Amino acid sequence: MNSLVIDHRTPDGKTPTSVMLLRNPLDFIAEDHLRLRTMCAEMDRLSQSAAIEPAAVSALIKYLKQELPRALADEDDDLMPRVLARAEPEDELPKLVKRLHGEHVGIAVQLAQVTRGLAALVLEPSMPLPLRDALRGLAGMIRRHLILENAVLLPLARARLTEGDLHGLRSGMLKRRGLEDLFAD
């Protein structure tokens, strides 16, 4: 669990999102989206780099294997079901949730390809063109996905979720990180 940050650093998108933000899990998710956008910029940068940067590649692999899957699970397993349960008919949320979940599946498939390619760089003297394309493709896919989540899903969650929903969301997210007792009194 080395990638978890428990202090109150100023968010910069470069360091893992502080779990202290889980006091309000929607704030955590919003901040985690900043981190994800920063990692997309890093994928773009590495895809254009002339030389392999072992430390940057290692950090990206760690993020893609640890943090991103947890963020996707936070949304699929805890956030979207709760928002869907509270949605009003005019929200037209079932269609959006289906689309977002489908995009998560696509991201996971592309993620597996990218992480395998990055791991293989240990044996490669340079980054192959298909991996460069895959990195840019994953970054673009994620950016498009975040537009919907930030513009529609998170505002609806803020409007519709109850304190009980937020507590359940927080509990699931803490459990996923092995921190069930972090906010215990």
Q: Which domains are delineated in the chain?
A: 19-176 (1.20.120.520)
Residue 5 has pLDDT above 60, yes or no: no
Average pLDDT over the chain reads: 90
pLDDT band at 51 (very low <50, low <70, confident <90, very high): confident
Q: pTM for this one?
A: 0.88
Q: How far is 91 from 173, CA to CA, in rounded Å?
A: 25
The pLDDT of residue 181: 85
State the DSSP code for 178. T
pLDDT score for 12: 63
Calculate the dihedral angle through the C-alpha atoms of 92, 96, 101, 104, rounding to the nearest 10 degrees.
-160
pLDDT for the residue numbered 10: 56
Q: Which segments of 49-176 does DSSP mark as H helices, in order?
A: 54-62, 68-73, 80-86, 93-120, 129-148, 154-160, 163-176
Confidence (pLDDT) at 83: 96
d(Cα 117, Cα 134) in Å, to the nearest integer? 9
Does pLDDT of 124 surpass 80? no
**Rounded-to-integer distance, Cα 153 and Cα 146, Å:** 10
